[in-house]
Amino acid sequence: MRVAVFSTKPYDKRFLSAAAEETDHELEFFEARLDRTTAALADDFDVVCAFVNDELGAATLLRVAKTGPKLIALRSAGFNHVDLESAKSLGLPVVRVPAYSPRSVAEHTVALMLALDRKIHRAHARVREGNLSLDGLLGFDLGSRTVGIVGTGKIGVAVAKILSGFGCRLLGYDVYENSDAVAAGVEYVDLATLWEESDVVSLHAPLTPETHHLVDASAIATMKDGVMVINTSRGALIDTAAVIEGLKSGKIGHLGLDVYEEEGDLFFEDLSNTVIQDDVFSRLLTFPNVLITGHQAFFTVEALEAIATATIANITAFEEGRVSGNEL
């Protein structure tokens, strides 16, 4: 099949090309993000391969469908950026990579927790400047604290398994209880209890209308003073303006983000020679107790290999008229 790969970076090319080596698929790599203005690039292709910040709204899908039936193959687990209703009505099947390496995201989540707790980002900068004072670097024993995990699916459970090794008390909230989470030591509670009792809140639920701005001003008001909030799921789980107020008042003691509500125009690009126009994002960067990474939690060799292998397998299954099990 002829595959138009959007939002391509060198690493996408490397891993997808390797995964497709034994197949007849022809991959063409476009650096452009997919949206309604770039969808025409896929005109002569059978498959549109998209990533997390591509925009697959109704207008884009309509343009994609214009030149015949196609498969939409997502290189991600999350699919909040796809208008599934429109895809269905246009006869465009959508497949995704539901699980590639939950461990990659879980390990990055815990890295953010530990770095914030022990102020590794600040210590690194200080030591390089010859400042070896410890003032302002006081941390806490993570293993003696309560961590609340919102969304106890594959990644939430992987986080729970790591933190149970630290000795943390683990609280969980989900719309479904997961026996793997219970086996990892998670005690299920309602959301209000999780907000009230957690020293660290870690978000692992998908972005849906129900989880949009789950962490808002009213939720923050019920959290512990000095709470640490970590979001490696999707930016809009957090009301960023409310979180900034929480940081200013000291209610939020640490904030770790791998995702941001408006990341589409920022992340995955080198903006070091430009002036960032997003004032909310710029404000976040000014806090000493905020650590932001640019949607890199998935970015391990193991995860990229698994994403590429599953994406190519999804395309092959579509070509052969088989169900891959990864259809949305």
Interacting residues with ligand NAD between 150 and 169 (CB under 6 A): 150-156
- Output helix, strand, coil percentages for the chain, rounded to the nearest 5: 40, 15, 45
Beta-carbon contacts of residue 90 (< 8 Å; ≥ 6 apart):
61, 62, 64, 65
Cα 76 to Cα 98: distance, rounded to the nearest angstrom: 7
Given candidates 205, 215, 257, 292, which one binds ligand NAD under the rule CB under 6 A?
A: 205
Interacting residues with ligand NAD between 80 and 99 (CB under 6 A): 99
Given candidates 25, 96, 224, 295, which one binds ligand NAD under the rule CB under 6 A?
A: 295
3 state DSSP class of 311: helix
* Catalytic annotation present for 22: no
Interacting residues with ligand NAD between 262 and 291 (CB under 6 A): none
Give me 155's structure tokens: 């990644």
Given candidates 22, 24, 129, 210, which one binds ligand NAD under the rule CB under 6 A?
A: 210
Q: How many CA atoms lie within 13 A of 53 on its CB side?
A: 20
Cα 300 to Cα 49: distance, rounded to the nearest angstrom: 20
N-to-C CA span, the chain: 20
Is residue 259 close enough to count as binding ligand NAD by CB under 6 A? yes
Catalytically annotated residue among 234, 245, 262, 327: 234
Is residue 183 close enough to count as binding ligand NAD by CB under 6 A? no
Given candidates 93, 185, 206, 264, which one binds ligand NAD under the rule CB under 6 A?
A: 206
In whole angstroms, the minimum distance from the beta carbon of 98 to ligand NAD comes to 7
**Structural element, H or E, at residue 319:** helix 301-319
Angle between helix 301-319 and 102-118 (nearest 10): 150
In whole angstroms, the minimum distance from the beta carbon of 169 to ligand NAD comes to 19
Given candidates 55, 83, 258, 263, which one binds ligand NAD under the rule CB under 6 A?
A: 258
Binding interface with ligand NAD (CB under 6 A)? 77-78, 99, 102, 105, 150-156, 173-176, 178, 204-208, 210-211, 232-234, 258-259, 295, 297-298
- List residues with catalytic annotation: 234, 263, 295
